[in-house]
Amino acid sequence: MSDEESHAPSLIRTMNAACPSSPQRVTLTPTARTSHRGVLVPAQNVVVFSGSAHRPLAKAICDDLDVPLAPVEMTRFSNDCLQAQLQANCRQRDVYIVQPLVPPTQEHLMELLLMIDAARGASAASITAVIPFYSYARSDKKDASRISIGGRLVADLLATAGVHRVMTMTLHAPQVHGFFSVPVDQLTALGILADHFLAQDLSDAIVVSPDFGNAKTATQFSRLLGLNVAAGSKRRLADDRVVIDSIVGDVQGKRAIVLDDEIATGGSIVELLDRLADQGCTGAAVACTHGLFVGKAVERLRQHPMITEVVTTDTVPAPSDWPELKVRSVAGLFAEAIARIHAGESVSSLFDGVDPSFGPPQAKLFE
Give every strand in the sheet of 229-238, ordered side by side.
241-248, 229-238, 205-209, 255-263, 283-291, 307-313, 326-328
Under 8 Å between Cβ of 111 and 74: yes
User: Does the N-terminal peptide bond of residue 210 adopt cis geometry, omega within 30 degrees of 0?
Assistant: no
**At residue 249, what are phi and psi to the nearest 5 degrees?**
125, 160
The active-site residue out of 59, 234, 254, 364 is 234
User: Residue 353 — φ and ψ, nearest 5°?
Assistant: 90, -5
Strands (E) located in 33-160: 46-50, 72-76, 82-86, 94-98, 126-131
- Which whole-number Å values give the CA distances from 289 to 7, 68, 79, 126, 262, in the listed order? 28, 26, 37, 28, 6
Hey, what amino acid is at 175? Q
- CA 311 vs CA 48, 70, 187, 206, 284: distances in Å: 28, 31, 18, 16, 11
Phi then psi dihedrals of residue 259, to 5 deg: -115, 125
Would you call 190 helix, strand, or coil by DSSP? helix
Distance CA 358, CA 181 (A): 19
Catalytic residue flag (residue 234): yes
Chain centroid offset of residue 306 CA: 24
| Cβ atoms of residues 175 and 143 within 8 Å | no
Positions annotated as catalytic residues are 234
